[in-house]
């Protein structure tokens, strides 16, 4: 589906972009952030898209040497070995903006228009702490928008050794955006945008979809 223009009302200097690249890629068998997808690697695609809607981009990773070629600031986990929640926690700690748009590095079809749509919704909801896509009944907290203040509740969960991200998100004052709303406000297919790669088969499927 062709995209529609999305007007961004939130100044980019009020937004930090966070790319999560801390996974071990065990099921993929190699660092999926560095896998080529078209003319760029996965991490480059994420950084480019998120950089278009934010004034500063942070990569959350415990392997910063792998991403020095990007010239982007890297942030190490403060509470190491605790998965993507720890990566988000560290990046929010490094942020100095009210809103933060977050994307995992394993989404080959991430698009700035989709991110803009989430940000536009965020600023119309004065009391929300997060904007979370929901597709096919499943929340997607790794492509979402968060207020910096949620770092406090995130840290409590980590210190309590509670690492289920969905359970943490359910405790936030979040706006949940369903598939129909996402498509209407972004002009994009949310199932495609939110597709993530975990295995070699996922990667091959994404490459085929991207070239078709």
pTM for the model? 0.90
Cα radius of gyration rounded to whole Å, the chain? 16
Q: Does 35 count as an annotated binding residue?
A: no
Q: Does 189 count as an annotated binding residue?
A: no
Give the pLDDT of residue 203. 82
Question: How many whole angstroms separate alpha carbon 201 and alpha carbon 203?
Answer: 5
Distance of CA 178 to CAs 8, 100, 135, 149, Å?
A: 20, 20, 6, 24
Residue 37 lies in a domain: yes
Distance of CA 3 to CAs 114, 187, 202, Å?
A: 9, 4, 24
Residue 4 lies in a domain: no
Residue 194 lies in a domain: yes
Question: How many whole angstroms separate alpha carbon 122 and alpha carbon 205?
Answer: 32
Structural domain of 87: 12-211
Q: Do the beta carbons of residue 75 and residue 60 sit within 8 Å?
A: yes
Question: How many whole angstroms separate alpha carbon 112 and alpha carbon 114?
Answer: 5
Q: Do the beta carbons of residue 160 and residue 117 sit within 8 Å?
A: no
Residue 136 lies in a domain: yes
Q: Does 32 count as an annotated binding residue?
A: yes
Residue 130 lies in a domain: yes
Residue 2 lies in a domain: no
Q: Does 87 count as an annotated binding residue?
A: no
CATH code: domain of residue 40? 3.90.550.10
Residue 3 lies in a domain: no
Residue 88 lies in a domain: yes
Give the pLDDT of residue 212. 47
Q: Does 201 count as an annotated binding residue?
A: no
pLDDT in tens, the chain (212 residues): 334 434 445 555 689 999 999 776 677 868 899 999 988 999 999 999 999 999 999 999 999 999 999 999 999 998 888 889 999 999 999 999 999 999 999 999 999 999 999 999 998 888 999 999 999 999 999 999 999 999 999 999 999 999 999 999 999 999 999 999 999 999 999 999 999 888 888 989 988 876 54
Our count of domains for the chain comes to: 1
DSSP SS3 for 169: helix
Q: Does 20 count as an annotated binding residue?
A: yes
């Amino acid at each position: 589906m062709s995209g529609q223009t999305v007007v961004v009302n939130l100044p980019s200097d009020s937004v930090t972009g966070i790319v999560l690249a801390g996974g071990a890629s065990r099921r993929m068998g190699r660092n999926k952030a560095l896998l080529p997808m078209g003319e760029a690697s996965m991490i480059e695609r994420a950084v480019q898209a998120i950089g278009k809607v934010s004034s500063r981009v942070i990569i959350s990773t415990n392997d910063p040497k792998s991403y020095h070629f990007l010239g982007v600031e890297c942030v190490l986990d403060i509470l190491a070995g605790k998965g993507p929640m720890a990566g988000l926690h560290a990046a929010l700690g490094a942020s100095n903006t009210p809103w933060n748009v977050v994307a995992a590095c394993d989404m080959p079809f991430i698009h700035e228009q989709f991110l803009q749509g989430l940000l536009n919704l965020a600023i119309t909801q004065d009391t929300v702490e997060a904007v979370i896509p929901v597709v096919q009944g499943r929340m997607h907290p790794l492509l979402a928008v968060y207020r910096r203040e949620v770092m406090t509740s995130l840290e409590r969960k980590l210190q309590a050794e509670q690492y289920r991200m969905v359970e943490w998100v359910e405790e936030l004052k979040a706006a949940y955006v369903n598939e129909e709303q996402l498509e209407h406000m972004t002009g994009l297919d949310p199932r495609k945008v939110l597709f993530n790669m975990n295995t070699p088969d996922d990667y091959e499927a994404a490459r085929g979809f991207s070239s078709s």
